[in-house]
A and B are shown apart, each in its own frame.
Chain A
Amino acid sequence: EIVMTQSPATLSLSPGERATLSCRASQSISRNLAWYQQRPGQAPRLLIHGASTRATGTPARFSGSGSGTEFTLTISSLQSEDYAVYYCQQYKNWPPYSFGQGTKLEIK
């Protein structure tokens, strides 16, 4: 089973700042990685798949990078609606389709 590890667990930043979230896979997953955003009380929403392809409706300030075992989600300039929990998910080796434990992005 592939284990996904996200860091940091919590990230405190001010609006307008740049956010960098990391996700590491326990073995190579090529670029088979997705990122999701989950706001309080809501279902997760797909942001990025294929490590760097923005989903329909994902603002351009969100970008994904990486391959193999190391991946990054960058938010170039934080807006108020970006404060949420972010999860990465691998879909290279399944079952199971595994998620990271999440990074909570909070207002500083």
Chain B
Amino acid sequence: DVQLVQSGAEVKKPGATVKISCKVSGYPFIDYYIHWVQQAPGKGLEWVGLVDPGDGESLYAEKFQGRVTISADTSTDTAYMELSSLRSEDTAVYYCATGIGELQDHWFDPWGQGTLVTVSS
């Protein structure tokens, strides 16, 4: 059974850095990309970026470029998303998801349960 299990909720102050994790089980970790998606309270879904666990290469949305780092640890089958210089607008649920499809033409399945990041002074 494929599962993506994310770390727990975080509360951070403005300007701080948060790092959340996504533990993968049920398939060879290096076989599929991991994507991260942001959902602000009451809002829609926005793609943050991806990592290829096979070689560690990452790709980011322009909106988050320079503040986000997505990585993968093949020794623990875990992907990470680190977001720095936090501001109130970063308050959101962050989901990891497995990218499925040919090359990088990916739809997302399955998804992790989500991690709430709250940025508040």
- A contact set with B: CB distance below 8 Å: 32, 34, 36, 43-46, 49, 55, 87, 89, 91-92, 94-102
Contact = CB atoms under 8 A, between A and B. Distances in A.
A41 B106 CA distance: 24
Given A43-B112, A43-B113, A44-B97, 5 more contacts: A36-B108, A43-B95, A55-B109, A91-B105, A97-B35
B109 to A, nearest CB: 4
B111 A44 contact: yes
Interface string B78-121: 00000000000000000101001100111111111110000000
B61 interface: yes
Task: Tell me the dominant secondary structure on chain A's binding face.
Answer: loop
Please indicate which of the listed interface residues B35, B46, B107 has the most CB atoms of chain A within 10 Å of its own CB. B107
A89 B114 CA distance: 18
Contact of B44 (A45, A55, A97, A100): A100
Bin the interface of chain B by size: 20 to 34
Contacts, number: 62
Please indicate which of the listed interface residues A32, A96, A98, A100 has the most CB atoms of chain B within 10 Å of its own CB. A96
Nearest to B46: A99
Contacts of B110: 45-46
B32 interface: no
Given A44-B95, A87-B44, A101-B44, A95 B61 contact: yes
A91 B114 contact: no
Contacts of B114: 43
